[in-house]
Structures are given as structure tokens and as C-alpha cells.
Structure 1
Amino acid sequence: MELQNGADKESLSGSSFLVTGGAGFIGSSLVAYLLNNGARRVRVLDNFSTGFRSNLDEFSSHPGFELIEGDIRDLQTCRDAAKGMRFVFHEAALGSVPRSIHDPVTTNEVNISGFLNMLVAARDEGVKRMVYAASSSTYGDSVELPKVEDRIGRPLSPYAVTKYVNELYADVFARTYGMELIGLRYFNVFGPKQNPAGAYAAVIPKFIEALMNHESPVINGDGEYSRDFTYIDNVIQMNMRAVFTDFAPAVNQTYNVAFGQQTSLNELTSYLKRYLCDYDPLIANVPIEYGQQRLGDIPHSLASIDKAQQMLDYSPRFSVETGLQETVRWFVKKKELATIQQAV
């Protein structure tokens, strides 16, 4: 990832960063961006419940990299991780609507109690600013499109409840303790290194892996549900805009992070088959299967990115199509490398 506007070499080289959940998909992408662009010090806090050590292997010998294996549900661990850090990117969470429906207690403990611990730690350790992962699930049953930050509905899952509570806590801590906090409502982020395995895998890597194995992807419902799929590099840009902005009115706000385009699941699978056929023409013949609609899913999601554009000069560079091409290329290369290693 190339250097984003608003995050020059000087600002990175003079700063220290804590990335919670830094072994996860978004967290490790942030770590890679920071270290590859000259950040002085990057510390990761992760308990590896959903993240992978392999996502951090390339930085294990980097002089500016530090890893703390620990859990955000422990306040002292959070304090230790925040000590000496100028900025915090809080990405640690238990994602997935279905997971939260299956196990609301653990989702609550990690996403609410863990978030509160990080707020307290950032306050007590004098962190300048914390940028945290909010979620588009906060819009709940609102049918308004596009989604605008100050108009939300009722949550449709325990996960959505936890992410909305994060925003409420951030608002209270900003007003009560004078903290600088910015929430980023992610809309269906995808890209390289995203995990295709497990019961709660995101749809894009899961579909890519299925198609590469000539297996039918299973779409929940009729495929006409739509999402604002957002490539990881756009998300990194937004995080950099948020952490380095010196525009005071932009701080202590919540922003949509998206591309601003609706794509149905049927359109998504069509794109994936088209791009994967460049590497394996037989994928064109793999049929798509349709299953039951998933509990807690909203029919359609589309973000307004006007606020982010106006307040933070956000300018997403990767469309859904371009991002999917980059993602497919990465997964194909990964499979080719695995095949070579097996042969050896």
C-alpha cells in the first residue's frame, strides 16, 4: 500500500502506534501500512482468538515492531499495551452477526467490556487519539438509503448492539474526559489476507476459495440482498485521515467507511467468476447454490460518504471491481505458492 495523503513520512516516523487486534485482517493491514511507510514504533495487542500469527510473521524481526499477546478483557493488559503510545487503532473485536446470535455473552464481553477497558487505558496513559472500528450494523432496521451517520434504526443483532454501545461510550468519554476519539463504521471490508475458513468467514474470501476449488458458493437467500463492499486500501486511507487530521471539528465524530456503491450478491459472484476465469476457465461452469436467508441480515446496505469526504478529505481510490481484481490476484498467487511448496 502506498503512502496515503494526510500521513506523510515525517508524521509516521515520529509517532508510536498501538493496533489492537493487529493479527486480524484489518489490523494486520494497518500494521503493514504503518511499518512499510516508516512508523517509528508499532505495537500489536492480540489474543489470537480470530487473528493469525502468520499475518505478522513478516514483521517479527522489524526493529519497530512489538507484540503483546493478551486479551482486551483484562484492564491491566490494556494499560500495558497503551503505555507510551501516541495513537491507538482499536480493531480488536468479535465480529460476525451469526456468532453474536449464537454467543451473545462473549460478544458482549469482548466488544463492550474490552472496548471500555481500552478507553480507560487510553485515558490513563495519555494517548493523544484513538480511532476505533465501529460498524455499519449500527444502522439496524433503518430502510433509508444511503445510510447517513446521524440517522440509525434499531439494532438487529447482539453484535450491532455492542458496536452502537461503543459509539455511546466514546461520546461520553470524549465529553467527560476531553479525549480525542473517532469511530469508523466499516461497510463490508474485503481484500488480501482475509480468512476464508470457519463458520463465520466473510463472503468474498469464502466464495473465492470455493470457486477456486470448483465448489459451488452458497448464497443466503435469492442473491438480491446488496452490500457496500469496501476494499481494504480505502479503509487504510480513512484510518490515516482520522488519526492525523488537525481539523478540530472532525474529531469526536463517527464516519461511514465505504466506497458508496451497492453490489448484490448475485453481481458479486458474477464478478468473482469473471476475474477467476482469467486464471482457470473451468470456473465459468461452477454453479451457484442458494440457501436460507440468514437471521439478523439486513436486505440492503449503501453508505453516504459525504461526511467523510467533507470532514476528512476521504477519497476512496479502489472501486469494488478493482478491489475484487486485486483480491482475486492475491488468493490465486497464494494458492500457486502453496502448490509449489507441496510439490517440494
Structure 2
Amino acid sequence: MKNKKVIITGGLGFIGSHIIERLNDNNDIVIVDDESSGKIENIKHLDFSKIDTTLGSINSINLEEVFEDCDYVFHMAALTGVFQSVAKPLNSNNVNITGTLKVLEAAKNCEIKKLVFASSSAVYGDTKSLPINENDQINPLSPYAVTKATGELYCNVFSKIYALPTISLRYFNVFGPRQDPNSQYAAVIPIFIDKILKNKRPVIYGDGEQTRDFISVKKIVDANILAAESKETGAFNIGLGKSTTINQLFEIINNTIGSDIMPIYEKKRPGDIKHSIADISKAKSFGFDPDYDFKDDLMDTVEWFKNNF
């Protein structure tokens, strides 16, 4: 992607900042972020001469003024996390559903070429069908999952009724540099790395034999750009297409760091699914094919945490 004007909502966050990092050299970037979880430090190493930042909530700022004359919207802004949504479902609904609707409305009115929506594999719930296919019935088991499923439905409606091209990417378990291990709702990989580096015992909920499809944020960025530039619309799984148990993940990180620390096992959390692995064959229609071993990217992530935490 070159010589475009690109909106990234949630651009100061984990995934958003990586998209900006990739596009910064050859495009004009417009960031919309309320700094609730993202932070300016995530992009401090970039060239700010081609970045325009609007700080504020997608529910309160005038999005049409911000979106004017832009080409693409990458809608990453959200209250993320299953357990955060269980604790505060109204907050998740306000940001993830009402906020998404406002982003779509502004994109329609500004005649955006395409909107890429960050959805989640959480929409599937605890499906027994593996690997998970886009044709499988969705079964959200948390308020967060409901908000992402609703966002997808709104995207489809805006594509069909208003001719706004949209595509929803159902991320599986994303990891990489700049994930915050100190958040109450942090993902498992940064928590494991942070705890082990500090010689503390991480917690594994359940027996640790639950599986996840871990995908590097670098591959997530690939998927977003490919999806934006494609003619495809609808929902697509974005994962590695391989599964790893939480116990295996812990062992890999432990060995990479050179530690022999043992985890603490606690009871399963509400809303936590047992198994997850993506069928990514549909996403290959727009060129997404992450054929790699995630261990190399995991090692890079460990090195980043060593240098930054």
C-alpha cells in the first residue's frame, strides 16, 4: 500500500501501532485513539511528519471531519478482552457496538474505499468443530464476543445497503512486541514472559491442556493490508492454522528464557473456551498464507520484553 491516506482507530494500541509502523513510510496516517489502553510511546520511533493524531473517543469526536479525503479505515479501536467485558458489559457495548456503528456511518458518508474491522475468534464460542471454519455457527459466550459478532453484522449491512466495502478479520490469539503484560486483562503470552523474566510463577487457568492458535502480530498486519487492497468482503479467520496447548506454550517460553520455574494451576475462568484452531483456507483468497513456525516470532517477542521490561 502506497500513497494512501489511511485511518487507524485505536492506532496507539498493540495491533494498531504495528499497522502504522508498516504503513508509515509510504502513506499518510491518521490516528484516532482515546488512550484508554494505547499510548503514544508505541509509535515514538516513527516519522511523525506523516502522522496526524486525533485524541478522543470514537463516540464523542466528529469522525466525518477526521475521515474526510481518506482512502481506507482500519477499525482497531475496542475494549478488548473476554473477562473485561464480563465485568463491565455496558462499557464493551458502548465502545464496541455503538462506536463501531459511528465509525461505519462516518466511513459511508466520507466514501471510504474500504473498511477493515478487527473481529475475533471469540464469536465462535466453545465450538466442537475443529479446525474452526467461517461456515460454522457463531455462538458468543461473553459480552465481548457478542460485540464483535454485532460489529460484523453491521459491517455486512453497510456493505449490502450502503455499498461501503467492509471486511471482518476474526483474529485468533495475537502476540508480539508492545503487548502490555501489566493490564488486568493482558493476553497469556506477555503475562508468561513478564512473570518468568521476573522469576515469578505464572498462573495457568484450568489444566493447561486447552489449545489456542497463536499468530504473530506481523502476520496480522499482513492480513489487514491484503484484506484492504482485495475485493473480498465478509468474515475471514486470521490465525496460524496450528494449535498449541497452554502447557506447551509455557514450556517453550520457559526454555527460551532459560528458566525452570513452575506454573501455578487455578480453576478455569468463566467464558474461557477449551479449544481453538483456525481453518484459514478462506483467507488465502486474498493472499494470506502464514506458513511459518511461530517459535521464531515468539523468541523475538521474548527478546523485546527483555529489552523493554
TM-score (norm 1): 0.88
SS in 1 for 2:276: coil
Q: Alignment partner for residue 260 of structure 1, among 218, 241, 250?
A: 241
SS in 1 for 2:218: helix
Give the aligned partner of residue 274 of structure 1: 255
Q: Is the contact between residue 215 and residue 240 of structure 2 (CA under 8 Å) also seen in structure 1? A: yes
Deviation digits for residues 160-217 of structure 1, max 9, x if unmatched?
Answer: 0000001111111101001110110000100011110021011100110000000001
Distance 1:51 1:151 in 2: 33
Q: Would you say how many aligned residue pairs link Structure 1 and Structure 2?
A: 309
Distance 1:189 1:77 in 2: 31
Give the aligned partner of residue 262 of structure 2: 287
SS in 2 for 1:63: helix
Distance 2:42 2:10 in 1: 11
Letter in 2 for 1:27: G
TM-score (norm 2): 0.97
Unmatched 5+ stretches in structure 2: none
Letter in 2 for 1:44: I
SS in 1 for 2:193: helix
Q: Is the contact between residue 117 and residue 152 of structure 2 (CA under 8 Å) also seen in structure 1? A: no
Q: For the aligned residues, what is the CA RMSD?
A: 1.2
Larger Rg: 1
CA offset at residue 317 of structure 1? 4.7
Q: Alignment partner for residue 97 of structure 1, among 72, 82, 85?
A: 82
Task: Work out whether 1:51 is the aligned partner of 2:3.
Answer: no
Q: Alignment partner for residue 54 of structure 2, among 38, 50, 68?
A: 68
Unmatched 5+ stretches in structure 1: 1-10, 278-282, 336-344
Task: Work out whether 1:114 is the aligned partner of 2:95.
Answer: no
Distance 1:293 1:80 in 2: 46
Deviation digits for residues 137-162 of structure 1, max 9, x if unmatched?
Answer: 01013211011012123210000000
Q: Is the contact between residue 231 and residue 319 of structure 1 (CA under 8 Å) also seen in structure 2? A: no
Identical residues among aligned pairs (%):
37
Deviation digits for residues 31-84 of structure 1, max 9, x if unmatched?
Answer: 111114x22x0010000001112112223x52111100011112x532222122
Distance 2:217 2:78 in 1: 17
Which stretch shows the higher mean deviation, 313-322 or 65-74?
313-322
Give the aligned partner of residue 294 of structure 2: 320
Distance 1:113 1:295 in 2: 25
Letter in 1 for 2:63: C
Q: Alignment partner for residue 23 of structure 1, among 7, 12, 15?
A: 12
Task: Work out whether 1:304 is the aligned partner of 2:279.
Answer: yes
